[in-house]
Amino acid sequence: MTDAALGKADSPATLDAIQSSYMVQVQRRRLYGGLTLMIFVLLMVSGFVVADDRNAGGFWDGLHQIGDYPAAVLSEAWAKRADLPALMQRFFPALIETINIAAVSTLIGACAGLVLSLLSTRGLARWPRLIPVFRRLMDVMRAVPEIVIALVLIFVLGGGPVPAMIAIAIHTAGALGKMFSEVAENADLKPVEGLASTGATWSQRMWLGILPQVAPNYLSYALLRFEINIRASAILGFVGAGGLGYELRNAMAWGPGRFDEAAAIFILLFGTIVFFDQLSSRYRNRLTEGGHA
Amino acid sequence: MTTADLDFVKSGAEGLIRRKRLVALAVPVLIAVYFAYVFVAFDIPGLVKRANWDNAVTLASDSWSYKVHVTRSNATGAIDYAVEGERKGAYPEGARPDWVTGDDVVTVDLGKGYAVRLLPANRTEIEIPGFGLIEAQAEGRRVTTNLGEDVPDWINASDRRVAVTTPEGRITMTGSKTEVFNYFPGWELFWFTFESPYHGQSLTRILFGDRIDPERANISGALSDWWNNPMWRHKDVAWAIGETILMAFLGTMGAALIALPLAFLAARRFTPFVALRSLTRRIFDFVRGVDALIWTVVLARAFGPGPLTGSLAILITDMGTFGKIFSEALENVDQKQIEGVSSTGAKPLQRYRFGVIPQVVPVLLAQVLYFLESNTRSATIIGAITGGGIGLMLTQAIQTQKDWEEVAYYIILVIAMVMLMDWFSGWLRGRLIGRKD
């Protein structure tokens, strides 16, 4: 069959057949592409309509008012600009609390994620049979939104930074565990074998054989997480877990007249996020590119 | 290599090792010091004291069990039976649970020998094995009992209110009413409330039996009664989950659609004007720096609570993130493909379409799908702040502090939703890019 087809390949009839079959394929691909696009557009439009419908205020009405609140806050803050430094100083402890929540939860989460990742990586696991168990555990830890754990813990422990810290740490452990485990999969196993031949225990093999290889990547991921966790801890504050978010909610509840407080918090939060964003991206570049310039 | 060189290298190596040793020691010490500081700053000892462990017990037991309230009003003598004491869960007129017997003397059998007898003239007797009989009489606003001064700690008695907690149930008595709470495992009325004719019917009867409600076909009637169940509100819950996913979808996709053209402006490759490029980048940095929390707060003022506000907050924040990621991807495209396309005489737009887009689409799609999953989680939180979706229902259920089985139900649904989106985005990525991980 193939021979016969090849033999006749240069006859114009076959060329036409090839061309037309190619065109059919292209048309089918275009059809599929167009259909996918249409479904996507349909989903977006209908989704927008539904969301607009179920919203308290409509999109087109809201669009005019979008600047009103920032304008009100900014004008009031500008009118009281002399107080801003004092206000920022007042809210500084709350800012420190927010950063502390993020830092502690990143540290704890990274430690837990480290152990979990080593336990769930093929070739490194202490108990290879339990790899799926640890993987599912990490999946669940990642899937639970922080707010769920935070709210439940606030009910038990009362408001404050600790519920937020535990909630973020659990999520961080799951998220970092997955990323760490992907890095560890590519680690060179020869140092581990060498250490095993000297009779090193499992923790010694991991500590001395694997960690030095993966540390730059791990640190870089942990820094990225820290950045994400600052945002998360600010948000959780808004539902009652202390820190800057909590102060923001209180300031907002007062409404006009206290907009200078809201503005001070906005500035602090924005500055902190940008600062840590820049800091972590600089160090991450240094870590992943290897050079300690 | 001379000996002098060797010595130099050796001392250098020794210095390096000394430094490493110092770092290896200093880092854990620093972390320990930091933890000690946080221990004080977060007031952990005070927290342990303030923590309400009874709440934890209530939460843990209520999330998988329900209670039926038997309430006698002392003013009228009428006795009501209701699941969780809610009107929506009330037993129909004339019906009562089968562990309640008697007419003049109503006996509530709590099981294992524990029983409560509601006697005429507002008298109550509680039988407790191994303790004896507690007799109580409600008069006006007072409750008098046969308990002496010395009561065990599971009884809390004053002249206004007597509360008895037993392993089988709780009894509270005040001048105005006597309440008995009987606990059972499970989520009662999850399928049908008492109002529905399908309550208590077996699945086979509903599927294959005769019409239970003459007005409706069994299956559609049962489905509609379940869907409109007033206790568990399955319809509202489904809508809320839909809203949350909608927020994530609209926000992520909208952000990607807006960020893609802007990313071309921010990429050095495609925008020779430095001013335009850095302006676009600053915009990306700004919207990212303002953060979803502030955007949510600001947008909620303009658009009011609801899913649209949430999706716009996600859209704006992620636009910055996508813009950054996309422009980085665009900087890294291979020039050769673009040259190849332009050698066929392609116009600029065609060069982008056939030279650039095919290279970056896999990277962009992978990012967008990853964000879709992560935004489902964010949408839950944003919903709690702006007032929409399952996040709102969850916060409300937790804040009322009584329907813990509903909280457990929502938590399970949220986790299932996030895992489903995780699986779905992974599946879609596999289909579109042809790479599974």
Q: Which neighbouring-strand residues pair with B90?
A: B82
**B54-68 per-residue burial string, b: 16 or more CB within 10 A, e: under 16:** ebeebbeebbeebbb
Contact A156 B43 (CB under 8 A): no
Residues of chain A contacting B391 with CB distance shorter than 8 Å: 145, 147
Contact A238 B293 (CB under 8 A): yes
Residue B309 amino acid letter? T
Nearest-Cα residue of chain A relative to residue B37: A100
For chain A, percent of residues with pLDDT exceeding 90:
27
Q: DSSP string covering B40-55, please?
A: HHTTHHHHHHH--HHH
Whole-number Å distance between alpha carbons of B235 and A59: 25
Contact A148 B394 (CB under 8 A): yes
**Per-residue pLDDT band at B1 (split at 50, 70, 90):** low
Q: Residue B307: name the closest of B251, B254, B265 by CA.
A: B251
Q: Which neighbouring-strand residues pair with B81?
A: B70
CA dihedral A250, A252, A256, A258 (to 10 degrees): 50
* Topology classification of domain A71-289: MetI-like fold (1.10.3720)
Q: Shortest CB distance from A51 goes to which of B52, B289, B307? A: B307
Sheet holding B155-157, edge to edge: B79-83, B65-73, B177-185, B169-174, B161-166, B155-157
Distance from CA of A14 to the nearest CA of B (A): 26
pLDDT for A290:
56
Residue A182 has pLDDT above 50, yes or no: yes
Most confident segment among A101-110, A142-151, A209-218, B282-291: A101-110
- Exposed/middle/buried for B222, CB within 10 Å: 0-12, 13-18, 19+? buried
**A20-55 per-residue burial string, b: 16 or more CB within 10 A, e: under 16:** eeeeeeeeeeeeeeeeeeeeeeeeeeebbebbbebb
- Give how far Cα B78 sits from Cα of B75, B87, B178, Å: 8, 15, 11
Residue B235 amino acid letter? K
Whole-number Å distance between alpha carbons of A40 and A44: 6
**Per-residue pLDDT band at A53 (split at 50, 70, 90):** confident
pLDDT in tens, B27-68: 889 999 999 998 888 888 888 888 878 778 877 777 788 888
Residues of chain A contacting B305 with CB distance shorter than 8 Å: 55-56
Nearest-Cα residue of chain A relative to residue B400: A155
pLDDT for A73:
82
Q: Residue B410: name the closest of A152, A236, A167, A155 by CA.
A: A152
> Residue length, chain A?
293
The answer to whether B175 and B140 have CB atoms below 8 angstroms apart is yes
Contact A269 B250 (CB under 8 A): no
pLDDT in tens, B89-131: 778 777 788 788 887 788 888 878 888 888 887 888 888 888 8
Put simply, the chain B residues between 287 and 346 with a CB less than 8 A from any chain A CB are 288-294, 297-299, 301-309, 311
Contact B34 A161 (CB under 8 A): no
Nearest-Cα residue of chain A relative to residue B420: A143
Put simply, the chain B residues between 57 and 76 with a CB less than 8 A from any chain A CB are 59
Beta strand B142-145 pairing with B132-139: antiparallel
Residues of chain A contacting B303 with CB distance shorter than 8 Å: 55-59, 62, 66
Q: Residue B309: name the closest of B246, B376, B261, B399 by CA.
A: B246
Residues of chain B contacting A63 with CB distance shorter than 8 Å: 302
Residue B425 amino acid letter? S
Q: Residue B163: name the closest of B183, B181, B189, B185 by CA.
A: B181
CB neighbours (10 Å) of residue A77? 20
More confident residue, B431 or A165: A165
Whole-number Å distance between alpha carbons of B394 and B397: 5
The answer to whether B394 and B414 have CB atoms below 8 angstroms apart is yes
Nearest-Cα residue of chain B relative to residue A56: B304
Residue A125 has pLDDT above 70, yes or no: yes
Write down the residue that tokens 């004053």 correspond to. B158
pLDDT for A1:
44
Q: Residue B414: name the closest of B243, B193, B190 by CA.
A: B243
The contacts of residue B209 (CB under 8 Å, 6+ apart) are: B201, B218
For chain A, percent of residues with pLDDT exceeding 70:
95
- Give how far Cα B211 sits from Cα of B192, B214, B238, Å: 16, 6, 28
Is the four-CA dihedral B36, B40, B46, B47 of positive or negative sign?
negative
- CB pairs < 8 Å spanning A and B: 177
Contact B302 A161 (CB under 8 A): no
pTM exceeds cut of 0.95: no
Residues of chain A contacting B45 with CB distance shorter than 8 Å: none
DSSP character for A83? G
Q: Shortest CB distance from A155 goes to which of B297, B311, B401? A: B401
pLDDT in tens, B185-197: 877 777 777 777 7
ipTM of the complex, rounded to two decimals? 0.82
Q: Determine the residue among A155, A259, A273 to mutate to test chain B binding: the one whose Cβ has the most chain B Cβ atoms within 10 Å.
A: A155
Helix %, strand %, coil % for chain B, to 5?
A: 60, 15, 25
Contact A162 B44 (CB under 8 A): yes
Nearest-Cα residue of chain B relative to residue A71: B298
Write down the residue that tokens 């080593």 correspond to. A118
- Exposed/middle/buried for A58, CB within 10 Å: 0-12, 13-18, 19+? middle
Segment A140-165 shows an average pLDDT of 86
Nearest-Cα residue of chain A relative to residue B254: A44
Whole-number Å distance between alpha carbons of A175 and A221: 10
Nearest-Cα residue of chain A relative to residue B38: A100
Residues of chain B contacting A248 with CB distance shorter than 8 Å: 293, 297
Q: Shortest CB distance from B303 goes to which of A62, A148, A269? A: A62
DSSP character for B27? H
Which H or E run includes B207?
helix B203-208
Q: Determine the residue among A48, A105, A151, A277 to mutate to test chain B binding: the one whose Cβ has the most chain B Cβ atoms within 10 Å.
A: A151
Put simply, the chain B residues between 229 and 248 with a CB less than 8 A from any chain A CB are 243, 246-247
pLDDT for A41:
92
